[in-house]
Amino acid sequence: MSFTFSSAVYILLSVLTYFLIVGVISYRTSIIYKNLDVFLSQRDLFPIILTTFGIQNLIPFPGTHWAGRSLILKKFHDIEYHKTILASSFEVVCNFFMYTLSFVIALQTSLLYVTHSKLTKAPLLVYLGLIVIGGVLGTRKIFIEWIEKFFLGSNFQKVLFFFKQITFNFYSIVALILLSAFVSFLNGLWIWLDVKIFSVDLTFIQCFSIFWIPFFLGKISKIPLGLGVSDISMIFMLKYYGVFSSTAIHIVLFYRIFFSAITIFLALYFIFKKNYYLIFRKGDFTR
Top-confidence residue, 34 or 140: 34
Q: Looking at the chain, list the stretches that DSSP marks H as alpha helix, in order from N- to C-terminal side.
A: 5-34, 42-58, 64-77, 81-115, 122-138, 141-150, 154-163, 170-197, 204-220, 229-240, 245-253, 259-273
CA distances in angstroms from 83 to 86, 153, 158, 170, listed in the order given: 5, 23, 14, 21
Q: Which pLDDT belongs to residue 22?
A: 94
Is 50 exceeded by the pLDDT of residue 286?
Answer: no
User: Domains of the chain: which residue ranges?
Assistant: 5-280
Q: How confident is the model at residue 70 (pLDDT cuts 50, 70, 90)?
A: confident
pLDDT-derived band at 19, boundaries 50, 70, 90: very high
More confident: 183 or 62? 183
Q: Would you say the C-alpha torsion 97, 65, 204, 114 has a positive or negative sign?
A: negative
Instruction: Say what the pLDDT of residue 179 is.
Output: 94
Q: In this predicted structure, what is the pLDDT of residue 38? A: 84
User: Residue 162 has what pLDDT?
Assistant: 58
What is the tens place of the pLDDT at every residue in 148-172?
554 445 545 555 555 555 667 778 8
Using CA atoms, how far residue 264 sits from 110, 183, 222, in Å, is: 32, 21, 22
Give the contacts of 186 (CB within 8 A, at least 6 positions apart): 17, 20, 21, 24
Q: Which residues contact 133 (CB under 8 A, 6 or more apart)?
A: none
Q: Contact, 230 vs 191, CB < 8 A?
A: no
What mean pLDDT do residues 271-282 have?
A: 76
Mean pLDDT across 185-206: 93
* pLDDT tens readout for residues 79-110: 888 788 888 888 888 888 888 889 888 888 88
How many whole angstroms separate alpha carbon 256 and alpha carbon 246?
Answer: 15
pLDDT digits over 203-220, tens only? 999 999 999 999 988 888
Mean pLDDT score across all residues of the chain:
80
The confidence score (pLDDT) of residue 94 equals 84
CA atoms within 13 A on the CB side of 4: 6
pTM of the model: 0.80
